[in-house]
Structure 1
């Protein structure tokens, strides 16, 4: 019992310690580890003695106590610091995770975004609901091609043409010459899918139609005149009732003509000047107004009169062997029949009509021999040849050049020392000789016996005309064939204002010539300026009469005379801020893409980068404020009738020619309302207003829709324009194109689409362009989401899905390079989604098994 108090004393002696709890923790563990006494009591006292000595050694020492305290505080602070850092890192990671999740949700989970309920969005939603969704029907986008063209090894891909024009602005140009003995199959194939195509020009014309048929701006007389002209064009009943009488009355004002038997034998140059001044008709040559590209002076505003070969009425072809043009002999018979039909509709006696038609064909064939296609004139350096009017008069004396040009550009003063630009001087010289010969001819038979001037090569046609002119050369005044030629040229100028019998004759001839797409032989060159497209597009409109609806024809004709009015109306409706934003974002992303290319030549890269960095992209719109009063004054000089479209059309031609006169002195480039593709003007990259129209673009659309459509089109146009030969400058083009093509072949082969064939260089470049354009548009959109995280949605589609679905609606955008795209752009969605987490759902066709994984392009 005496041993127990000893153990208790040990415990009590420790408890009263005044040391803080933390400082007692170091000696405490050994105490609690002591074992209770068991056997050998004599040893207990020894153990107690030993413990007491140890406890005495462990009695608190101020120096050791302070040192232990310092060490523990340091370790505790480090521990707390580590714990704090870990906690902060965990919180930051959680915040990042939540932000990343929220960001993906903003991009992919559009069902939580605010729905767009504007009228434009409602129409877009209805359109999307009726269209195939690539994420719901992926097989359609694996196998879809424009016009149901079939890919095969034999066809070498879906090639529809022979070459790439030099500039996107020439997208409306038709081939003027066909190779002798060539086939029309390519043109027929191209026309198969036209109705399915979302064509930018058609979209613009539909929007202009809405403007002309609306009732806003009722107080503007200029706007009311434009709409009145448009309505008179739609009034086909009045046009049919008038028949040919308006044109016959016009001929009488010009002094009559030999075909009708009543002709005052007016002076050749006087009649020609009158046609050019009042009726915008150029039978023997064409007139343009524009700048000289050879003038490298920065910011030059000087414009010149430009003289080109005419738009011949007779079908012609280019013989690549002889390097000459010639009348298409196999089409002379239908052309002869159409000319006879015109004279019959104008009341010409059947007894004399054949003589005049024969002379007209003979004269036309002579002019045809002197013409040359664009590629040949480019090769020979025949474009933009500068000379004074006096020099031109010396080289081509049959035309009174100063008098005719002064009449066409009245009241602008012109002198013999003024410069003009010629685009086929050999033709102008030859044309003058032909006119002089017909004005001062000897026996017509002697000309047809001259082997140096073969005009008609078909034997039967030659014999017919030979005996015709051999027997009847003196029955007709010498200048009659030239006058008939001018009258028939005027007839084709006035054709859109005449009844359906005339336009039906044009269309019948077009079908006879094998132009299944409705384009007749009345072709023209569109290589110089935006406004050149309007110079003679009247002929193209006539040719489309059977195919295109009447409203489209009337919109084009209204724009021809009232382009200033429609420019202001379109500018009022254009969302300038939204348009500028998407222009800048797409161009900025395009610049970043250039740095990612693998260039084969450092010098080429530097030149391209320098050029791109110097460009200033902007919306091409009028810089002047609203000019309603000015336009009202301008158009107050004309009076339009609601019952006589022919009379209105004559006044429109005069208005249009006056506009050409003003172009010569105009300081700034006026916006071209019919332009639908970007183009370069000095150091500016201009985007026309006509692109920013619904359904392609609308300010209330979700940005995903605008970037998916307009963004892609812009990127594609910029790549074509600024990198025309990128295939030879970057290895990336080949690698990306082959990668995309490999994706397609995995589908095309399994879908039994034909054998494997390789892509040409032009096809590889086009595949790269369109795939890169889609990536640029998508990157630009995602960048816009970072800057402005909120975006609306349509039909509950996620942002990226709405972007890709909107892009898929383009299907087959019509442009110059479409011929070289071996697959449809909508298939590029599957390549984007193949190895990417951008797409909300997997995009695979269930009926197609893809055994191997494809690389990311």
Structure 2
């Protein structure tokens, strides 16, 4: 998909509107408020003791004739009152002592969770570093270090903090690694331990595809078979380039091999679009118009964009033109020559074909423009009919190509399409026309060779390792230093691309819908509570955002397309998955794409993105994808503290980024919280030998505030408030911690009343389990990750700095100035 197709997803604004009565029921209830007591707690006891004296003073003459009974009655009432008072004081002391034990994290006081998921979580906790064992060192680790390993505490203190001066001796303190583990193995283990949610979801899909449970439908069996054939790299390497060369012959051959029947340009282009999902000169996808979306219209249109160019390019800001990168032309040329050699191209003629390919690619690159430039020039969403497009770019048979790409949907010349770079489309048509009319090059078929190169790019994931190694070498030469993904991850992604509807159905079966909906409602309720606390200079903007949020309906995003196993089996009925021919299976799946595009366009069904792991807005709905609620960050049998500490924090962080970006600069709390948290960090970091304090940028302050607020939001509704089920405990907590009860959402209180029991893992109390769970997912890589100036786990020390609800051992005893800091 092109740059625009990835980045042009409409940013849907939320329109405040009145809701129908059924929708209003989905809104989380208002915050639970406790009336403030107006009298001393001992007042009821005093009233109990004074009441007998009042009755005696008003006794009738009959009673005055029995002084013995009166004396006994006074004594009994006195003893009863004393007993009630003593019992009340004893109960109060017991409840307060029980609460203290909870907040001090005394092990063994919680009911253990014994489900298989909890046992796996317990094993994970036992092999991970405990943030409460060495808090001062642990919280100075940075994401990407070996901080989650129990044998690595102290390995990378303070290293990698953006903008923070490193200790001069840091590079010399790396201890020797145990054994002879190589760097790749260390990196693999590190990636498995850091709970990045995208990696978590891919790992969960891997477990689904590798599961040996019931056979399932035919479509499920084909999906699992496709995945297994992808893993069989031995068979793929044995096949070599032969499957692709056979495919080229079906397209009429090509001039590189000396056998080409000079197929028609537009016929070949239509065939590539219909059967192989290949778009060499322009890109196609289905999408909405943002203006119509904002007004509640769900209609979709064909979107035509510039293609994903294979040649490396750069934007010249002076000439306002794209151009090929001169320093990368040599490695790009070498990779093209290598591809032709792998495909059996004669060495004496390969250079000529590579030269014409690079020349044609360069001309098309000059006509393209980056997204930011097209946005500034208003070149996006230019609407016209197919007939009008044909007049402006006549070299392409637009109606024929679009009919092939959306087969079997009937299209006519009067149907509308949206262009995202009309200037490129017009220039591309001129370039094609010029190359078609070059008589001296007709025998070499440069346009046909160009299309074959793009087909090779499409089918590269299904070819042997020599092709992928060539692509990797080019990527390294272009400056990309990312490590190679493991084969299983590559195969999960390819299986999702071909069998996404099957995996969506399997994921929906395994998603705990009720528990996911509960945490969605609770986190959203707490988020609204946080929003009401914000103050700023522009009250109008704050009020507008609050009104928008009130109109939202949060819910779990479930698929609504294919609804039965029979439908899935029918969709993939013509696909034959061979265990020893991954290439053949791959090509068959590509042929299904026209039908799926046509369904998306005609039925207006919502496209399923199974790999989505963050909430998004759709009209007045706030949708949370199923991919957010998978182990090990979420499981219905986990203690709620563990779920809220992990996925609850991630949800709250996403909501703050999604809904509040336009008011960051107007909120007083952003600067205050950012600087306060930073002061806490410097008090520890500077004492640890990492001096050289610097000020946070506005973007860093915002991210610190977002993550700190997200942790507060999740903590407000965590199972830390389990003790509030009891009214006696409720009163005791209010006497000691009135600020805690004030922020308790009613939705979570109702959840506790329905499910008063909760469990724990490894004997950890609810608070400690919540914070430990958070410490394992805070390294989630999102677009704002680069702005976080510290290890996010350090926020735990700030949360607990002045709170009796956190473990008492969470102290940096060697930091003499820490006790002077204020709570944030």
TM-score bracket relative to the smaller structure? 0.7 to 0.9
Question: Which residue of 615, 633, 656 corresponds with 2:593?
Answer: 656
Distance 2:720 2:814 in 1: 36
Change in 2 beyond 3 A, CA 1:436/1:624: closer
Distance 1:268 1:74 in 2: 116
Matched, 1:796 2:763: yes
Distance 2:719 2:219 in 1: 44
Distance 1:715 1:418 in 2: 43
Question: Which residue of 323, 326, 336 corresponds with 1:329?
Answer: 326
- Which residue matches 2:782? 815
Change in 2 beyond 3 A, CA 1:330/1:670: closer
TM-score, L = length of structure 2:
0.80
Question: Which residue of 492, 497, 502 corresponds with 2:467?
Answer: 502
Matched, 1:827 2:764: no
- Which structure would you say has the larger Rg? 1
Matched, 1:701 2:635: no
What's the CA shift for 1:849?
Answer: 3.6
Query: Alpha-carbon deviations, 1:2-55, whole Å to 9, x = none?
Result: xxxxxxxxxxxxxxxxxxxx9xxxxxxxxxxxxxxxxxxxxxxxxxxxxxxxxx
Distance 2:392 2:225 in 1: 46
Question: Which residue of 753, 759, 772 corresponds with 1:805?
Answer: 772
Question: Which residue of 487, 496, 520 corresponds with 1:583?
Answer: 520
Query: Alpha-carbon deviations, 1:420-468, whole Å to 9, x = none?
Result: 12222222122112112212248xxxxxxxxxxxxxxxxxxxxxxxxxx
What's the CA shift for 1:668?
Answer: 3.5
Distance 2:360 2:308 in 1: 14
Judge conservation of contact 1:142–1:747 (CA < 8 Å) in 2.
no
Matched, 1:731 2:696: no
- Which residue matches 2:290? 293
Judge conservation of contact 1:260–1:348 (CA < 8 Å) in 2.
yes
Determine helix, strand or coil for the equivalent of 1:387: strand
Determine helix, strand or coil for the equivalent of 1:289: strand
Distance 2:696 2:214 in 1: 54
Change in 2 beyond 3 A, CA 1:94/1:396: farther
Query: Alpha-carbon deviations, 1:378-417, whole Å to 9, x = none?
Result: 2222222222112222222211111101100001011111
Alignment size in residue pairs: 703
Query: Alpha-carbon deviations, 1:111-146, whole Å to 9, x = none?
Result: 222111111111111111111101112133232012
Question: Which residue of 745, 765, 770 corresponds with 2:702?
Answer: 765
Judge conservation of contact 1:230–1:558 (CA < 8 Å) in 2.
yes
Change in 2 beyond 3 A, CA 1:218/1:814: same
- Which residue matches 2:229? 232
Judge conservation of contact 1:208–1:555 (CA < 8 Å) in 2.
yes
Determine helix, strand or coil for the equivalent of 1:146: coil
What's the CA shift for 1:345?
Answer: 0.7
- Which residue matches 2:171? none
- Which residue matches 2:203? 206
What's the CA shift for 1:509?
Answer: 0.7
Determine helix, strand or coil for the equivalent of 1:604: helix
Judge conservation of contact 1:711–1:777 (CA < 8 Å) in 2.
yes
Judge conservation of contact 2:142–2:160 (CA < 8 Å) in 1.
no
Query: Alpha-carbon deviations, 1:131-184, whole Å to 9, x = none?
Result: 11011121332320124588799963599xxxxxxxxxxxxxxxxxxxxxxxxx
Query: Alpha-carbon deviations, 1:585-634, whole Å to 9, x = none?
Result: 11100000111112221111111111111111111113579511111122
- Which residue matches 1:691? 628
Aligned pairs for 1:449-488 within 5 A: 474=440, 476-477=441-442, 480-488=445-453
Matched, 1:403 2:407: no
| Structure 2: gaps spanning 5 or more residues | 1-52, 54-60, 146-155, 167-186, 725-748
**Larger displacement relative to structure 2 (331-340 or 301-310):** 301-310
Aligned pairs for 1:354-753 within 5 A: 354-441=351-438, 474=440, 476-477=441-442, 480-518=445-483, 547-623=484-560, 627-753=564-690
Query: Alpha-carbon deviations, 1:474-516, whole Å to 9, x = none?
Result: 2x31782111111000001011111111111000111111111
Distance 1:265 1:607 in 2: 63
Determine helix, strand or coil for the equivalent of 1:325: strand
What's the CA shift for 1:751?
Answer: 1.5
Distance 2:619 2:377 in 1: 26
Judge conservation of contact 2:578–2:584 (CA < 8 Å) in 1.
yes
Matched, 1:134 2:131: yes
What's the CA shift for 1:284?
Answer: 0.9
What's the CA shift for 1:581?
Answer: 0.7
Distance 1:191 1:608 in 2: 43
Distance 1:734 1:666 in 2: 48
- Which residue matches 1:348? 345
Change in 2 beyond 3 A, CA 1:295/1:322: same
Judge conservation of contact 1:158–1:822 (CA < 8 Å) in 2.
no
TM-score, L = length of structure 1:
0.77
Distance 2:585 2:159 in 1: 53
Change in 2 beyond 3 A, CA 1:227/1:402: same
Question: Which residue of 804, 808, 814 corresponds with 1:841?
Answer: 808
- Which residue matches 2:218? 221
Query: Alpha-carbon deviations, 1:351-374, whole Å to 9, x = none?
Result: 111111111111111111122222
- Which residue matches 1:156? 163
What's the CA shift for 1:321?
Answer: 3.5
Change in 2 beyond 3 A, CA 1:193/1:782: closer
Question: Which residue of 110, 126, 131 corresponds with 1:113?
Answer: 110
RMSD: 3.1
